[in-house]
Chain A
Amino acid sequence: MTFDAIGIAGTGLTLHRKWLDAVSDNLANVNTATSTDGEAFRARYVVAQAGEGNTGVYVRGAAYGSAEGRLVYAPDNPLADAEGMVRMPDIDLASQMGQLIMAQRGYQANAAVVDRAKETYQAALQIGRS
């Protein structure tokens, strides 16, 4: 392609957008209780893979956290079992917040690459003008 750097940075933007989506989903479900006979909400993690050659980065797939979660005593919860336990997702809020910042900064870095690459190509197009 003619303007490669822009497309490569675009793959990075897509990956970080998906990472942001995953973190957002995990944070949205951080307090989602389930009954003890079911599975807990499983945290979703994006698995990245480098493209072949200089083609950027792609999502290989998703990895999931534990379905077991952690058992919490919450007798008020309508989902509680006979012992008053519910299953809460095993999501570390601090880790998710850290990932949120990494995903945001990664997205911003790739957006900066797009802008910088565009300026560079425009400088090349100025060669020999006038």
Chain B
Amino acid sequence: MSTELHDLGVAALGQALASRQVSATELAGTLLARQAALDSQCGPSSLGAYLAVDAEATLAQARRADQRRADGESGPLLGVPIAHKDIFVTRDWPTTAGSKMLAGYRSPFDATVVERLAAAGTVTLGKLNCDEFAMGSSNEHSAFFPARNPWDLSRIPGGSSGGSAVAVAARLAPAATGTDTGGSIRQPAAFCGITGIKPTYGVCSRYGMVAFASSLDQAGVMARSAEDCALLLGAMSGFDERDATSAERPPQDYRAQMLAPRDGASASRPLAGLRIGLPAEFFPPALAADVNGALRGALAALEKLGATLVDVSLPRTALAIPVYYVIAPAEASSNLSRFDGVRYGHRAEPHGDLMDLYKKSRSEGFGPEVQRRIVIGTYVLSHGYYDAYYLQAQKLRRMIADDFSRCFAERCDVIAGPVAPSVAWKIGERSDDPVQDYLADIFTLPASLAGLPGMSVPAGFGEAGLPVGLQLIGRHFAEGQLLHVAHALQQATDWHLRSPK
């Protein structure tokens, strides 16, 4: 083959495997070798993508995939290697959630998402770096080491699914799972120039995801194209009786939905009739000029494909930040109570009485950002503050969702805007100012609070050649439509095909 194996995406690899040009075992071996060469886990020249690699376990899975094919099985994902964010628990690899609290922890079961992808034949390459318990947007809050942006190793890759974005962008893996609570798939996908989708809340089971904020957490995919995302999302999603919040819907063929032509569409104008809403609040003066410029180019491309751009308003966009930073820490403070040093995870030794065991184990095991959010969350749930903070935030959350509903009912089919106000920043640049980090989530939080599906699609490059992402937000369960729009854009442009040096 002319291109190298590691340059191929999921769909292409599926075809190469199906035509027996390559075996799953060879493919896994190639990517493991590339990982060993580029991602040695320490030093400023390392990508810092993986937290756990186990070549034996990967190759065993690859051999099983080859055996399944020899036994007559087929399928677009059979033998395709992928990697998992270290938020998904796995039997065969340790799961840390990027925290010292869980260093060396081995789950006795696989997350539903992991299980379903394995059933579809994927081969796991390893576990990917992330901000501790998915709290952060730079991957600097990994308790082990930061992941680095392959477009510029001195910059952050975004977070919390930073390792996932790095692995896919640096061609260490054709695709990876991620999780998104307030933008953790979309923002690193944008910063690393790849495609990421966070589906509607409830589309993917949360069973086996180390919980951060239960009412917001959602699994998704990060890959190099909309088509690759569609293939993986179809395999990993669907109702799961082990998650009471998972949506009871029949299995979806997202690739078919992505390819299905719209009414009134033509080959040159596949998006004819599609109304794309541009919220005024998503294009404020503070939006970096290079980001704005790149987005305008992508929007022009969409217009050329037949879409109509319409002005809309999401008036409560700015409220999303305080609302999110009340609700998410509140849920986190409770979700993280189980890490108490009693049954598993870090236990401080020596310790005094029970209270001392709790205090020491949790102070040592949790990093500063996690502790900060536990304190915030505990505060807003406390007696006398609950109504003023948590209950108020829940009311505003509903109003934010209503803003979207109104837009979709009256003005547009899809909403578009930036993923982040700027391109990726330098490692260490903001570590003294957590609020600065929180403010940068402004464009991703609203869709998370409303439970809506969102995508980040490569939209060109900004300052210093760094990638810019276009965010697409759809109606509930409109993943197929978002993928359709992204696919149309990717058929007409090549931003998603560019790779870092």
The reply to whether chain A is a binding partner of chain B is no
B interface, CB within 8 angstroms of A: none
